[in-house]
């Protein structure tokens, strides 16, 4: 066909072909672009047909919760073997059969069809003109050689060079000394090689960690960075179940191990270590005196201790802090992460009766006696910790043994014989017999009942990230001089105790009902019984509209605290009893986690239930967050910032799906401005003065109202007395008129004379 068309066109005269082309071009209409005009949608009833075809539930669903009677739990049951064929009609076989009642024949069926256009192949081509090459060439003009010689030998040029030679030499010297083209405005601060430059304020995702084998369908409850090894972060994962469902599914949960997972930046796929727990861990802390010791609080109320010193070399190698080459004879590490068993757990009868929600190590310069008074600590390390729980108590625990040395040695020998799993004997003297030293009960003020603490903040607790020391000693290598033998540590003698008066024993606590409580852990004697009881709280304000899940003290200003609960956050100053110095409005999304920045005094991070993280910069805005960034599709459950290096800060964020997000904090969010600490302190001082002024105005208005009410009462009493006198006079006048009328009537009737 192609050959025939070419031959046919070749035999046709050129005039006829040109005439046909002109006719075709005349028939083609010119395309005129027109703007689209929006018109209202006219309903023709199609949406009603779709709504009729939609299946909608007619009745509300009823939810049933079926459980056994409480007295039947734990009842004694005896099972035995029984032969089914020994007794007649002992069993009945149920054979499957086809039930004709459920056979339904289709008589009518709804079928939908859709009309579609036929497939067409079309093409178009843009006209392309013939390309052409174009170039140009030029040559600079120059003086002729004779004119050049005249210019160089002229007197004017010689005088000019003689006049500017000194200034030229000075300019060259200045260029050698300093850069004259440097912009002084841009170098007011030190240049840091960080991502995005100094103007970028968004968090950049550095790494993401997820464990699918043991942590699937679990939530992250707590995040802690390793104090001495950079690049190591530990997280605890728990089941996403309420209390009733957890009790009903307890047999299934026993098959899933409760773990604390330790991740490393060097291997984002596989964990470096997993700590086995007796139950789900809600909170844990590294030991300040020895980072190889970890203490955690369980959901069942027990306190657990781990010792990972046997795996320290592996963690150091994975963190990248060692430069020693591997030996050829060194055995290869196993591909599976080691599973470390806990070495001590507290007595379940003497532990908390509810979930352990917070845990803190006490500082190494003091210890707490049995009556709650701070004493001198001569051990040289942290020996006590405090835990809180919604069971209305705060417990203080001691790592040292309170038994004689001989009994402890015998118990250690017996435990070593019965230790097939190779669990460290670091805290074997505390296993299953560990009990609290002091129990602080939080009684309500002016009412019966007790507060249920969720989080506590101690004034003299041991901060893992001491910001100033960490920034100054960043280049120094932290080495542990020697291992501490905890079995030989003994409690201080009560004969010659040295009480410390400079230790603040007061603490803040946030309850599950939204109250912020301020009290003292010192015990006091009851006037009636003479027993030691917990003191009453000094202050309790119910301002949060939900459970308080964050009570965090500022690492820069010791008396400033951040509390977050429900849909609001507040900043408090210790010693100010009238209320918070800063209170946010009720937000749209509920807050779930918060933490102060370790490098800036006026900045903190807040996590929300919609997966966003709010960054609050008090130097920029105080009524709303300065920026909001989406991190996860699920709820944020924990936040923990950390200073890995002076120029590299990270923010660890855990979500409800068990994923750990490590974000790199930009330069603008971790670099403090000039005099930022002093500016923030002045701001808090102004807020305290404003709060005091508002309190004075409130008291003044109350006094003025009392005076006004008193004057109104006096005026009301005077008016009432005047009205009473007028009423009595009117009654007396009416009574006199009545007597006169009666006398006249009786006189007319003649009753008065007859009676006389």
- The pLDDT tens digits for 495-547 are 566 888 888 899 999 999 999 999 999 988 887 887 888 889 999 999 999 99
Residue 464 banded pLDDT, cuts 50, 70, 90:
very low
DSSP symbols for 715-726: HHHHHHHHHHHH
- Per-residue pLDDT at 251: 73
Reported as a single tens digit per residue, the pLDDT across 245-261 is: 887 777 777 778 899 99
Tokens of 27: 């028939």
Tokens 């950390």 correspond to what residue?
642
Tell me what percent of the residues of the chain surpass a pLDDT of 70: 83
More confident residue, 79 or 660: 660
Residue 196 banded pLDDT, cuts 50, 70, 90:
very low
Q: What is the length of the chain?
A: 756
Residue 755 confidence (pLDDT) above 50: no
Residue 2 banded pLDDT, cuts 50, 70, 90:
very low
* 617 neighbors 596 (Cβ within 8 angstroms): no
* Separation CA 281–CA 224 (nearest Å): 13
State the average pLDDT over residues 392-421. Answer: 67
What torsion, rounded to 10 degrees, do the Cα atoms 611, 617, 623, 628 define? -20
State the average pLDDT over residues 658-676. Answer: 90
* Separation CA 341–CA 305 (nearest Å): 10
- Per-residue pLDDT at 15: 61
More confident residue, 185 or 295: 295
Tokens of 261: 């997972």
> Burial, 634: exposed, middle or buried (Cβ in 10 Å; 0-12, 13-18, 19+)?
middle
- Per-residue pLDDT at 434: 93
* Separation CA 46–CA 53 (nearest Å): 11
- Per-residue pLDDT at 248: 78
Q: Is 152 helix (H, G, I), strand (E, B) or coil?
A: helix
> Burial, 587: exposed, middle or buried (Cβ in 10 Å; 0-12, 13-18, 19+)?
middle
Residue 463 confidence (pLDDT) above 70: no
Domain boundaries, the chain: 204-319+335-472+602-673, 690-755
- Per-residue pLDDT at 324: 42
pTM score, whole prediction: 0.67
Tokens 């023709």 correspond to what residue?
44
Residues 6+ apart with CB under 8 A from 429: 401, 403, 408, 411, 412, 486, 487
- Per-residue pLDDT at 334: 54
State the average pLDDT over residues 749-754. Answer: 68
CATH for 204-319+335-472+602-673 (1.20.120, 3.40.50, 2.40.160, 2.130.10): 2.130.10
């Amino acid at each position: 066909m192609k050959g025939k068309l070419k031959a046919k066109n070749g035999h046709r005269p050129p005039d006829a072909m040109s005439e046909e082309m002109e006719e075709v071009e005349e028939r083609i209409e010119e395309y005129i672009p027109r703007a689209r005009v929006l018109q209202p949608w006219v309903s023709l009833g199609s949406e009603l047909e779709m709504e009729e075809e939609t299946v909608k539930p007619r009745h509300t669903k009823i939810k049933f919760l079926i459980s056994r009677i409480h007295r039947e739990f734990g009842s004694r049951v005896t099972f035995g073997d029984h032969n089914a064929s020994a007794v007649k009609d002992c069993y009945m076989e149920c054979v499957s059969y086809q039930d004709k009642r459920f056979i339904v024949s289709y008589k009518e069926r709804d079928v939908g069809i859709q009309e579609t256009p036929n497939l067409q192949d079309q093409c178009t081509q843009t006209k392309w003109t013939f390309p052409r090459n174009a170039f140009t060439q030029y040559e600079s003009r120059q003086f002729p050689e004779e004119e050049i010689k005249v210019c160089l030998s002229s007197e004017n040029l010689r005088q000019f060079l003689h006049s500017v030679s000194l200034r030229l030499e000075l300019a060259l010297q200045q260029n050698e000394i300093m850069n004259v083209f440097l912009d002084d405005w841009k170098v007011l601060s030190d240049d840091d090689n960080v991502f995005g430059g100094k103007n970028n304020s968004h968090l950049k995702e550095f790494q993401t960690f997820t464990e699918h084998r043991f942590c699937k369908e679990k939530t992250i409850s707590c995040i802690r960075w390793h104090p001495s090894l950079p690049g190591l972060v530990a997280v605890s994962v728990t089941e996403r179940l309420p209390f009733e469902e957890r009790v009903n599914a307890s047999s299934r949960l026993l098959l899933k191990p409760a773990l604390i997972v330790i991740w490393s930046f060097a291997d984002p796929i596989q964990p470096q270590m997993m700590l086995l727990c007796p139950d789900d861990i809600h909170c844990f802390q590294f030991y300040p005196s020895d980072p190889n010791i970890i203490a955690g609080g369980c959901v069942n109320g027990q306190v657990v201790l781990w010792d990972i010193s046997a795996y320290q070399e592996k963690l150091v190698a994975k963190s990248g802090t060692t430069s020693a080459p591997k030996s050829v004879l060194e055995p290869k590490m196993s591909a599976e992460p080691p599973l470390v068993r806990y070495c001590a757990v507290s007595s379940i009868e003497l532990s908390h009766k509810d979930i352990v929600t917070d845990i803190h190590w006490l500082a190494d310069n003091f210890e707490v006696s049995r009556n709650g008074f701070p004493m001198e600590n001569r051990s040289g390390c942290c020996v006590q910790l405090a835990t809180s729980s919604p069971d209305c108590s705060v417990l203080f625990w001691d790592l040292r043994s309170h038994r004689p040395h001989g009994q402890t040695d015998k118990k250690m020998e017996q435990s070593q014989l019965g230790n097939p799993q190779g669990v460290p004997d670091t805290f074997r003297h505390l296993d299953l017999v560990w009990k609290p030293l002091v129990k602080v009960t939080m009684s309500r003020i002016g009412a019966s009942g007790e507060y249920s603490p969720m989080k506590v903040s101690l004034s003299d607790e041991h901060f893992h990230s001491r910001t100033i020391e960490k920034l100054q000693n960043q280049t120094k290598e932290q080495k542990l001089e020697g291992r501490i033998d905890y079995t030989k540590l003994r409690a201080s003698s009560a004969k010659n105790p040295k009480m410390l008066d400079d230790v603040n024993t007061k603490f803040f606590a946030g309850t599950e009902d939204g109250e912020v409580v301020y009290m003292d852990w010192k015990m006091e004697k009851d006037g009636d019984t003479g027993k030691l009881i917990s003191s009453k709280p000094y202050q309790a304000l119910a301002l949060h509209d939900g459970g308080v899940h964050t009570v965090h003290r500022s690492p820069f200003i010791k008396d400033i605290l951040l509390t977050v609960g429900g849909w609001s956050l507040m900043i408090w100053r210790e010693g100010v009893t009238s209320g918070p110095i800063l209170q946010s409005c009720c937000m749209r999304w509920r807050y779930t986690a918060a933490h102060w920045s370790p490098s800036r005094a006026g900045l903190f991070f807040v996590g929300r239930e919609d997966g966003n993280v709010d960054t609050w910069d008090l130097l920029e805005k105080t009524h709303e967050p300065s920026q909001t960034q989406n991190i996860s599709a699920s709820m944020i459950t924990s936040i923990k910032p950390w200073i890995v290096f002076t120029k590299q800060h990270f923010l660890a964020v855990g979500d409800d799906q068990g994923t750990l997000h490590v974000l790199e904090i930009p330069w603008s969010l971790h670099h403090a401005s000039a005099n930022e600490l002093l500016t923030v302190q002045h701001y808090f001082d102004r807020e305290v003065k404003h709060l005091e002024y508002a309190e004075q105005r409130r008291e003044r208005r109350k006094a003025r109202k009392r005076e006004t009410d008193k004057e109104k009462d006096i005026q009301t009493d005077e008016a009432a007395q005047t009205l009473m006198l007028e009423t009595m006079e009117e009654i007396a006048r009416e009574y006199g008129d009545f007597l006169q009328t009666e006398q006249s009537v009786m006189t007319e009737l003649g009753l008065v004379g007859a009676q006389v």
